[in-house]
Structure 1
Amino acid sequence: MTQAIALATPALVLPALVASADERSQRRFLEFFAVTIRNPHTRRAYARAAGEFLGWCDARGVTSIAGVQPLHVAAWVEQLGKEVSAPTVKQRLAGVRHLFDWLVTGQVVPVNPAASVRGPAHSVRRGKTPVLAPDEARRLLDAIDVTTSAGLRDRALIGLMVYSFARIGAALAMRVEDVFVQNRRLWVRLHEKGGKRHEMPCHHNLEEYLTAYIDGCELRDQARGPLFRTIRRGTKRLSESPLPQASAFQMVRRRAVAAEIATAIGNHSFRATGITAYLKNGGTLERAATMANHASTRTTQLYDRRSDDVTLDEVERVLI
């Protein structure tokens, strides 16, 4: 049974403290990742946190998973805070805390050693995601050579993130059938985090980009296939495989360099760029939150970078 669960989570390697435990403890550990977590990114992050923490404990003489104490967790958090950012520390601590909660309810350990350990204080009022100015975003889109399948795909993907505020994960999870006509306009269906389905009408530019991509790459008859795909080597045509997120990031950086954009943008930059442009042109925060599928406008405010212009104007007042 333990081997079957391990096969369901192939990227997971048992830490030494777990590997030396009995089979019931090993199974419970694996079940935490295979049963309780559906999001692959969360599973990967929590598995990394658990592996690093238990490896850290093993290197300091802890002999069993039941021997982990709150002091071990606190010391690990203290050291981690000197190496990575506060949000990363909080995320990894959350992973360890949830894991031990699961082990407690499975009667593998008597108490959760991470339950009482506080993470670092962290308050965010402004997002750190690099944002493009509207003319930079326009230059990036116009610089893409759309005489190739790769160019049509890349322009459609970037346009989708800019004009519909789509997360990269939701964009790459789309199928061809998620681009559809409703009320004589093109719409997109995004499958967001937590299993939420979010539908948006297309901006006229996005409608042009998606139509050109789907027709130019002959995707209309492949409704159940992935919308954004890798390029076959040699043929320079679309494959049947969905485009990985890491490949999308590399594509974005290549396109930015080609367009001579110095800002160190990533996949998430286009979501922030679109939201900021919308708000600058009279859009409301409440509508922006709805369009971005945010549960709270407080989250949307992190993407609002209109104050950057004011800050730059004020800095230029230092006339020396």
Structure 2
Amino acid sequence: MPALVAAAGERASVRFLEFFASAIRNPHTRRAYVRAAADFLAWCAGAGVPSITAVQPLHVAGWIELQTQALSAPTVKQRLAAIRHLFDWLVTGQIVPHNPATSVRGPAHSARAGATPVLDPAEARQLLDSIDVTTPLGLRDRALIALMVFSFARVGAALAMRVEDVYVQDRRLWVRLREKGGKAHAMPCHHALEAYLHAYLEETGIAGEPKGPLFRTIARGTGLLSTTPLPQANAYAMVRRRALAAGIGTKIGNHTFRATGITAYLSNGGTLENAAAMANHASTRTTQLYDRRRDNVSLDEIERIRL
């Protein structure tokens, strides 16, 4: 418990914990908000603020100013949002009389394209073909990467899947994803993804375990799949390792495959509206951040500078 919260009494402490336990359901958001709140309250304590009830707009503004010197604008805006939401919760719980973060403005930021590195189709194919699929590890890695490319799945949704979330409907293989906000999302598999998932399920022997995790760790010393779900950090390490082995210089991550799949779909005549539906985006504006077709246009234009 932060010292500034404890100094405000038991009611404040309980209300503070309830914010993270009750008001925020997404675990990633909860972790980010906890870090932001802990950092802010520690800074306030260092600035001589005696209690969370004594925090003023000037304190929030001073902390945000320091954040902008070390962090990107989107990160600072997220941290400010965390403090605003926390104090809104404390205001409604009658712990503090007003929200000191309401009047504080964050840094200006406008994004017309995402910053996620994207692979071109040849590189994505190179990566998939470079994986040795004679082992359960290779079968798992190929299936996971292909799922993120061909279904636009977020890595969190992919790793949360159970075996039963791969199923047959209308004589096609489908996947069921649980995306952000608890939204259930199902879509048919691309023929390549269908082949990779079939191979993974059948050759590893997990097809008969419908309630088990779809993507699993490898049991130590056996080379076989365990019953433990693959953590997101392990998936990222796997992607980096596979990219290096395939000779891909781009510093890719898990989110690269979502952007790669969306860009490839749009480049081959797909519509933005359908891409948004497939990616489970509430707005096409979000989908446009993943559309990197303009990158190729820019490169072509740069090459016109001939000396």
TM-score class, shorter-chain normalisation, is over 0.9
Unaligned runs of 5+ in 1: 1-13
Shift of 1:217: 1.1
1:46-125 equivalences under 5 Å are: 46-125=33-112
TM-score by length of 2: 0.99
Q: 2:279 matched to which residue of 1?
A: 292
> Per-residue CA shift, 1:185-218, capped at 9, x if unaligned?
0000000111111101000000000000111111
The CA distance in 2 between the partners of 1:284 and 1:35, in whole Å, is 39
1:186-265 equivalences under 5 Å are: 186-265=173-252
> Per-residue CA shift, 1:113-140, capped at 9, x if unaligned?
1111111111110111000010100000
Paired letter, 2:47: R
Shift of 1:46: 0.3
Shift of 1:16: 1.6
Q: 2:288 matched to which residue of 1?
A: 301
> Per-residue CA shift, 1:60-100, capped at 9, x if unaligned?
10011111000000111111001100000000110111001
Residue 171 (structure 1) aligned to one of 152, 158, 166: 158
TM-score by length of 1: 0.95
Residue 160 (structure 1) aligned to one of 121, 127, 147: 147
Paired letter, 1:72: H
Shift of 1:19: 2.7
Percent of matched pairs sharing the same residue: 72
Q: 1:151 matched to which residue of 2?
A: 138
SS in structure 1 at match of 2:295: helix
1:26-37 equivalences under 5 Å are: 26-37=13-24
Shift of 1:153: 0.4
> Per-residue CA shift, 1:253-280, capped at 9, x if unaligned?
0000000000000000000001111111
Q: Which moved more, 1:169-178 or 1:21-30?
A: 21-30
8 A Cα contact 2:49 2:55, kept in partner: yes
What is the total number of aligned residue pairs between the two structures? 307
Q: 1:132 matched to which residue of 2?
A: 119
Shift of 1:247: 0.6
The CA distance in 2 between the partners of 1:36 and 1:48, in whole Å, is 16
Q: Which moved more, 1:18-27 or 1:151-160?
A: 18-27
Q: 1:269 matched to which residue of 2?
A: 256
Shift of 1:110: 1.0
8 A Cα contact 2:8 2:53, kept in partner: no
The CA distance in 1 between the partners of 2:207 and 2:144, in whole Å, is 17
Q: Which moved more, 1:217-226 or 1:263-272?
A: 217-226
Shift of 1:23: 1.3
C-alpha RMSD over aligned residues: 0.7
Shift of 1:20: 2.8
The CA distance in 1 between the partners of 2:296 and 2:75, in whole Å, is 29
The CA distance in 2 between the partners of 1:278 and 1:91, in whole Å, is 30
Paired letter, 2:73: A
The CA distance in 2 between the partners of 1:272 and 1:198, in whole Å, is 18
Paired letter, 1:104: V
Shift of 1:42: 0.5
Unaligned runs of 5+ in 2: none
Shift of 1:15: 1.4
Runs of 4+ off more than 4 Å: none
> Per-residue CA shift, 1:118-169, capped at 9, x if unaligned?
1111111011100001010000000001111110000000000000110111
Paired letter, 1:164: S
Residue 141 (structure 1) aligned to one of 115, 118, 128: 128
